[in-house]
């Protein structure tokens, strides 16, 4: 049963042909959420009573930080499927996600530093949250570097999958760092079990931007995966048919 499922629904061929149908819908949804978040976040939401308009950088910083962690979790999940069930499309998803996650992590660090300069008086401090996010960036870069030095595709997938799984231990450290330690970084605002400690006029655009960033990730991921499939399966007959049809 699993072999049939793997061959028919988790195959590279099935993904390549079916994924193209989702791109227009994902793109339209991205424009809606991004447009709402951008307009209401930058122009409608009132200034913060302490930070003024400087708080508006959170509409890029917070979604980037969320995306950086969730993408790594996606990579780890794909890594597990790669090691246990040898699912090729999972390995492709894992490899294709890494550069996207690295850029989101870099963006989170840069926007955090831009916000920190006027608020903390410094571009960088070895705060628990900042340091753990920097480690996440190094995990992404290490994953990418490891794949670049191994030529054999199967060895490359197995070795990088191990790195992805081991690095998961850093995710709860990032999330709970502001709870476990006394840090300069503010505590959780929207991920609390109780009502988020942020006004609705600020919260809804922020949630929209988070959704928009995840939709953007999905779009770029599909495009990268389709490209990787073409490169990996270039000798397959169905790939030759795709090239001939195009």
pLDDT tens-digit series, residues 38-94: 999 999 999 887 788 888 999 999 999 999 999 999 999 999 999 999 999 999 999
In a domain, 216, yes or no: yes
At 183, is the pLDDT very low, low, confident or very high (cuts 50, 70, 90)? low
In a domain, 3, yes or no: no
At 163, is the pLDDT very low, low, confident or very high (cuts 50, 70, 90)? very high
Residue ranges with strand state E in the chain: none
Q: Is the pLDDT of residue 25 over 70?
A: yes
In a domain, 20, yes or no: no
In a domain, 127, yes or no: yes
In a domain, 2, yes or no: no
Between CA 145 and CA 203 the distance in angstroms is 38
In a domain, 4, yes or no: no
The 8-class DSSP code of residue 233 comes to: T
In a domain, 185, yes or no: yes
**Count of domains for the chain:** 1
Q: How far is CA 1 from CA 5, 6, 9, 36, 72, in A?
A: 6, 9, 12, 44, 29
Q: What percent of the chain has pLDDT over 70?
A: 88
Average confidence score pLDDT of the chain: 88
In a domain, 206, yes or no: yes
The 8-class DSSP code of residue 53 comes to: G
State which residues form the domain around 80. 26-43+54-245
pLDDT tens-digit series, residues 184-211: 556 555 554 455 668 889 999 999 999 9
Which range has the worst mean pLDDT, 104-118, 130-144, 169-183, 215-229? 169-183
pLDDT tens-digit series, residues 102-145: 999 999 999 999 988 888 888 888 888 889 999 999 999 999 99
């Amino acid at each position: 049963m699993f072999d049939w499922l793997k061959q028919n629904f988790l195959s590279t061929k099935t993904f390549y042909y079916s994924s193209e149908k989702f791109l227009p819908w994902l793109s339209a949804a991205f424009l809606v959420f991004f447009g709402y978040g951008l307009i209401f976040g930058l122009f409608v939401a009132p200034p913060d009573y302490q930070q003024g308009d400087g708080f508006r950088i959170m509409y890029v910083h917070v979604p980037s930080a969320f995306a950086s962690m969730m993408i790594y979790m996606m990579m780890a999940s794909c890594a597990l499927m790669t090691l246990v069930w040898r699912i090729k499309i999972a390995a492709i998803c894992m490899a294709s996600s890494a550069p996207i996650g690295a850029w989101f992590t870099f963006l989170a660090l840069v926007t955090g530093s831009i916000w920190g300069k006027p608020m903390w008086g410094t571009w960088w401090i070895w705060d628990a949250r900042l340091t753990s996010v920097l480690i996440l960036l190094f995990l992404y870069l290490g994953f990418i570097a490891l794949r670049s030095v191994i030529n054999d595709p199967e060895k490359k997938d197995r070795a990088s999958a191990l790195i992805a799984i081991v690095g998961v231990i850093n995710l709860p450290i990032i999330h709970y760092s502001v709870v476990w330690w006394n840090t300069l970084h503010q505590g959780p605002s929207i991920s609390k079990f109780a009502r988020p400690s942020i006004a609705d006029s600020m919260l809804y655009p922020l949630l929209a931007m988070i959704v928009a960033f995840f939709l953007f990730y999905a779009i770029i991921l599909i495009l990268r995966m389709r490209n990787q499939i073409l490169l990996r399966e270039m000798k397959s007959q169905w790939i030759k048919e795709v090239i001939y049809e195009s």
